[in-house]
Amino acid sequence: MIDSNLPTPRTLVWFRRDLRVADHPALHEAVRKGGVIIPVYIHEDDPSSEWADGGATRWWLHHSLNRLDQTIRDLGGRLILRTGPPDEILPALVRETNANAVYWNRLYEPECVKRDTLIKRSLMERGLDVQSFNGNQLLEPWEIETNDGNPYKVFTPFYKTATAMGHPARPLPRPDALPSVSTHLPSDEIDSLGLLPTIPWDGGLQQAWRPGEDEAYAMLDAFGEEGSGDYKDDRDYPGIRGTSRLSPYLHFGEITPRSIYHKLGRSSRTEPYIRQLYWREFAHHLLYHFPHTVTDPLRPEFERFPWNDDPERLKAWQKGRTGFPIVDAGMRELWTTGWMHNRVRMITASFLVKDLLIPWQEGARWFWDTLVDADLANNTLGWQWTAGCGADAAPYFRIFNPILQSKKFDPDGDYLRTWLPELAELDTSAIHEPAAASDQTLKDAGVELGSTYPKPIVDHSDARDRALEAYDRIKGG
Ligand SMILES: Cc1cc2nc3c(=O)[nH]c(=O)nc-3n(C[C@H](O)[C@H](O)[C@H](O)COP(=O)(O)OP(=O)(O)OC[C@H]3O[C@@H](n4cnc5c(N)ncnc54)[C@H](O)[C@@H]3O)c2cc1C
């Protein structure tokens, strides 16, 4: 129990996907109010739940919790970690600590909204001061609607209305100190959560990332105005570092979109980048208003789409062994680092749903398990957009040619050479499509198709015809 001589109020601050101390409205309000603050993280490990954390997410979470714990210790506090269902753990913690307030920042996934509403009601019935805040969005999903009072389904008008609402609130400062909580309050150990893999496959993740709030700000500084200014020209080229790579930090709430917005400012130079932040807002808007879209297409005619059940080709796609270098490079980047460049996400996703006719939900599941930025809102939007069945989606009949995309967006083959060392010796003229290279070219580069590198698992032009035929069958229905 907390020392009852300590001054009231006693506020539990429930950390969820807001693993930071700067610009944290729930923490800020607790500090402003004064008294004792009990920072809590509740780990709900339910592998049977539909969207249980994937392997890459668990890896990130382990490191992010360690960073947050250290930050809170440096401020004189302590992160209390508990495991179990929050609707049981929170009331138990309230009893244990004699807390009279519980604060948190809101989440927008359908299941979280339901759960948090029930928890809020039940704690308020016990007479507690329960408050939730907008900690993670530029605007909340319900703050904006079309002229006829409906949710937006098209990005551009959404963006126009959202930006016409003015600048988002300025970020809140980082607290100077956190009033200490009793050191006797029991807490689980982060290591005991078993978030790290038992078979160590995470070497690539360790090389690629340093999770945590400090690193998020360092990455933002490095990207800075120059990066956001060049973004328009560079963002589509996976072989150069043209994007901010802040997605996992945003997903875990180690940095907030408004901190990014106000750091970069809004100008014609930074506009293309800021616009992407609003795609994240749009994704949350859609998920909130159309919760079924995590598994079902937004456009109902796609429920009748004649998808293929093809475990072998699905495996080839997952492992980066399709014989299409840009697809394979992307899938290997994903497997190794837990991240993939946006342009390549679009190409690999299009290949799965259009060249292989494999349901987008299979791709979304694989991304969910392997991405360090796996995010229900953004992932659902990305997959439904690519498959042509979502809001403001790319039309289904617009089918990416993976070879032309590769030539256009990786003209020198740098990205391909990074992720496909077995093709590294091929000339730039041959690397995008080894199957079209002469025997001599392949031999000179040490490439043996079907042995050192796979032959293409489909013919793109036939696959394109099949996809269009399949689309004709559902169109207009
Ligand atoms: C099939 C598919 C699946 C995707 N799955 C995810 C996912 O699970 N998690 C995820 O965060 N993004 C996802 N995206 C969107 C996008 O690819 C990533 O946000 C982006 O590549 C992250 O890199 P970055 O931080 O360097 O982005 P930047 O280009 O630097 O953009 C800055 C931020 O804006 C947001 N953003 C950018 N593009 C988009 C977009 N198209 N939709 C929504 N938000 C966007 C992200 O939060 C990103 O960090 C997916 C896209 C596709 C096509």
CATH number at residue 35: 3.40.50.620
User: Is residue 186 one of the residues assigned to a domain?
Assistant: no
- Domain containing residue 395: CATH number: 1.10.579.10
The whole-number pLDDT of residue 1 equals 45
| Whether 79 contacts 187, CB under 8 Å | yes
Identity at 339, one-letter amino acid code: W
Residue 272 CB–ligand 1 contact under 6 Å: no
pTM over 0.95: yes
Instruction: Report the 3 state secondary structure along 240-303.
Output: CCCCCCCHHHHHCCCCCHHHHHHHHCCCCCCHHHHHHHHHHHHHHHHHHHCHHHHCCCCCHHHH
H or E stretch at 129: strand 129-133
Say yes or no: 145 and 247 in one domain.
yes
Find out whether the beta carbon of 78 lies less than 6 Å from any atom of ligand 1.
Answer: no
How many Cβ atoms from other residues are within 10 Å of residue 327's Cβ?
Answer: 29
Task: State the pLDDT at residue 169.
Answer: 95
The token pair at 212 is 């945590």
Mutation pick for ligand 1 pocket among 225, 342, 368, 405 (CB with most ligand atoms within 8 Å): 342
Q: In the listed set 260, 289, 318, which residue is the last one of a domain according to the structure?
A: 289
| 34 in Cβ contact with 8 (< 8 Å) | no
Which atom of ligand 1 lies nearest, measured to the CA of 245? 26
Structural domain contains residue 185: no
Question: Is the same domain home to 243 and 271?
Answer: yes
- Please report which confidence band the pLDDT of residue 97 belongs to, taking 50, 70 and 90 as the band edges: very high
Percent of the chain with pLDDT over 70: 97
Distance of CA 233 to the CA centre of its chain: 23
Residue 50 and residue 30 share a domain: yes
What does the DSSP assignment read for 30-69?
HHHH-SEEEEEEEE---TTSTTPPPHHHHHHHHHHHHHHH
In a domain, 107, yes or no: yes
Q: Do 265 and 401 belong together in one domain?
A: no
Query: Which comes out higher in pLDDT, residue 311 or 110?
Result: 311
How many angstroms does the Cα of residue 402 sit away from the middle of ligand 1?
Answer: 20
The whole-number pLDDT of residue 5 equals 54
pLDDT at position 46: 76
What pLDDT sits at residue 50?
82
pLDDT score recorded for residue 451: 98
Residues 14 and 67 in one domain: yes
Q: Atom 36 (ligand 1): residue with closest C-alpha?
A: 276
Position 205 in a domain: no
Sign of CA dihedral 325, 326, 330, 336: positive
Specify the residue for token string 């506009």.
271
> Would you give the DSSP letter of residue 422?
G
Average pLDDT, the chain: 94
**Same-domain check for residues 118 and 150:** no
Do 336 and 382 fall into the same domain?
yes
Ligand 1 atom closest to residue 341's alpha carbon, by position in its atom list? 21
- Per DSSP, what are the bridge partners of residue 379? none
pLDDT(474) > 80: yes
Residue 143 shares a structural domain with residue 130: no
**pLDDT tens sequence across 112-121:** 999 999 999 9
CB atoms within 10 A of CB 379: 23
Domain boundary among 81, 111, 134: 134
Residue 401 banded pLDDT, cuts 50, 70, 90: very high
The per-residue pLDDT for range 157-186, each reduced to its tens digit, is 999 999 999 999 999 999 999 876 666 799
Residue 375 is assigned to a structural domain of this protein: yes
Q: Is residue 462 part of a domain?
A: yes
CB 409 within 8 A of CB 428: no
Q: Which domain holds residue 322?
A: 300-474
Q: Residue 222: inside a domain, yes or no?
A: yes
Does residue 41 sit within a domain?
yes
Please state, in angstroms and rounded to a whole number, the distance separating the CA atoms of residues 249 and 430. 37
> What total number of domains does the chain contain?
3
Spatial contact of 403 and 429, defined as CB atoms under 8 Å apart:
no
Percent with pLDDT over 90 in the chain: 90
CATH code of the domain in which 223 resides: 1.25.40.80
- Per-residue pLDDT, averaged over 12-24, amounts to 98
For the CA of 283, the nearest atom of ligand 1: 43
In whole angstroms, give the CA distance from residue 432 to residue 437.
10
Q: Is 80 exceeded by the pLDDT of residue 6?
A: no
Q: Are residues 111 and 148 in the same domain?
A: no
> Would you state the pLDDT for residue 209?
98
Band (4; pLDDT cuts 50, 70, 90) = low
What is the pLDDT at residue 476?
62
Residues 249 and 388 in one domain: no
